[in-house]
Amino acid sequence: MNSAAVPKPELRYEDLAGMIEHSAVRPELSEEHIRISCEIARQYRIAAVCVRPSDADLALRWMEGSGIPVASHVG
């Protein structure tokens, strides 16, 4: 098969953004930092926002209706 004949799919911004998780898990982050992280996730329509377990309830409320999942780390 001639690879030159196969058209390459064009990636759009939305395709790439949908593959990225925004991580807000550093221990020194304030509640305001978490809120801003959620706003960034909404604005750019990223795949998910990842927060500390202690911030999960807040992030879930802030992301409600966005269609963007909230993730957290457990250990």
Helix/strand/coil for 4: helix
Place of tokens 């509640």: 31
Q: Are 47 and 18 in contact (CB under 8 A)?
A: yes
The whole-chain average pLDDT of the chain stands at 90
51 DSSP β-pair partners: 24, 72
Q: How confident is residue 16, by pLDDT bands cut at 50, 70 and 90?
A: confident
Q: How confident is residue 3, by pLDDT bands cut at 50, 70 and 90?
A: low
As a whole number of angstroms, the distance between CA 49 and CA 34 comes to: 9
As a whole number of angstroms, the distance between CA 23 and CA 47 comes to: 11
The pTM score is: 0.77
